[in-house]
Amino acid sequence: MAAWAIGIDLGGTNIKTAVIDEAEGILFEDVQPTDTGSGPDGVVRQLALAADNLCQRAAETLDTGLFAGIGVGAPGAVDTRRGTLSYPPNLPGWERYFLRERLESRLQEAHGIRSTVLIENDANAAAYGEAIFGGGSDFSDFMLVTLGTGVGGGIILDRKLYRGPYGTAGEIGFMIIDFEGSSVHAGVRGTIESLIGKKQIVNMACSSDSLRELSPRLTELCSYDRSRLSPRHLEQAAREGDAVAIQLWQRVGDILGIGLANVTALMDIRKFVIGGGIAAAGELIFKPALMQLHRSTLPSMHEGLEIVPARLGNKAGIYGAAALCFSFAQSKQGDA
């Protein structure tokens, strides 16, 4: 009998929720704007209500199955043991908040739901989602790298999430590969995020020497307004053969490949699953990245090197949050 769980992806803009069946995947899902103005307690009320709605829909539809719990992926520093969320970006006023405890209380007091709640960092949740349901399910050890506004990641070792001793592992965006360079992000020079975060990719198109003159096709795609240029335009232009855009993605891939080479050298991880909005450029990035990964590692590290696309898109977080509940329920059964 398959278990089901509720997966929640708490973001600064939206809250995504879903009922996820261990075998079937997403059964129902919902999305709503995050009521950031009402502070952490307000958001907890929102989360509890959303979970209650999904539980009711599940009760009407599913007549069997073990309810494994409610998993929440959230941005910022998560202490999974204490169930706290600290200083989540884009959620002002949270500081250090006992999210697990508050959500468990609210569910029980206002909705009569007694449920295990698990809290996880959103990038880790996404990595675990890809590990169980997505692009990493063939790999026992891999790193998910998400390319978007920021560059983030999560690490799976031996099919388990690697959180690190303080719970902050996987921050590949803060890896320094150009310490004498000019790009800076969050006060640190030459990090991967400072080089290939979304904004930097667009800036690269507008400012690098060879690109000072946008190509006619790019100029057209952004409606003759350079400030509107987006990664989507750069992707489309490259697919149409625009040399300037192809060269730009080549550079993004090169830089990504160097970052991955560092992961291989340090952790001996050789499988990479790439997600996030920017990863829609697909082979335009992956192909140069894989070549660079080979060039930047020793031959003794080449066996098994692979870069594959993530498969769950922006649903990796809700999948992963639910998958953590399945894993937790199994470990409890193992203990009993």
Contact footprint for a copy of itself (CB under 8 A): 77, 86-87, 140-141, 155, 162-172, 174-181, 186-190, 255, 258, 261-263, 265-270, 295-298, 300-301, 303-304
Q: How far is the CB of 186 from a copy of itself (least distance, A)?
A: 6
Q: How far is the CB of 111 from a copy of itself (least distance, A)?
A: 33
Q: How far is the CB of 240 from a copy of itself (least distance, A)?
A: 29
Query: Residue 109 or residue 268: which is nearer to a copy of itself going by CB?
Result: 268
- How many Å apart are CA 180 and CA 191, to the nearest integer? 11
3-state secondary structure of 168: coil
Q: How far is the CB of 203 from a copy of itself (least distance, A)?
A: 17
Tokens linked to 311: 């498969």
Sign for the CA dihedral angle at 101, 103, 106, 108 comes to negative
Residue 237 is inside which H or E element, if any? helix 231-239
Count of residues in the chain? 336
Query: Residue 87 or residue 226: which is nearer to a copy of itself going by CB?
Result: 87
Query: Residue 33 or residue 89: which is nearer to a copy of itself going by CB?
Result: 89
Query: Residue 33 or residue 304: which is nearer to a copy of itself going by CB?
Result: 304
Q: How far is the CB of 146 from a copy of itself (least distance, A)?
A: 14
Query: Residue 48 or residue 78: which is nearer to a copy of itself going by CB?
Result: 78
DSSP line for 179-222: TTSS-EETTEETBHHHHHSHHHHHHHHHHSGGGSS--HHHHHHT
Other residues' Cβ atoms within 10 Å of the Cβ of residue 12: 15
Q: How far is the CB of 166 from a copy of itself (least distance, A)?
A: 5
What type of residue sits at position 275? G
Residue whose entry in the numeric block shows the structure tokens 């399945």: 326
Query: Residue 123 or residue 318: which is nearer to a copy of itself going by CB?
Result: 123
- How many Å apart are CA 4 and CA 167, to the nearest integer? 26
Residue whose entry in the numeric block shows the structure tokens 């639910």: 322
CA nearest neighbour of 21 among 323, 240, 304, 253 = 323
Q: How far is the CB of 270 from a copy of itself (least distance, A)?
A: 7
Query: Residue 28 or residue 162: which is nearer to a copy of itself going by CB?
Result: 162
Backbone phi, psi, residue 17, to 5°: -135, 150
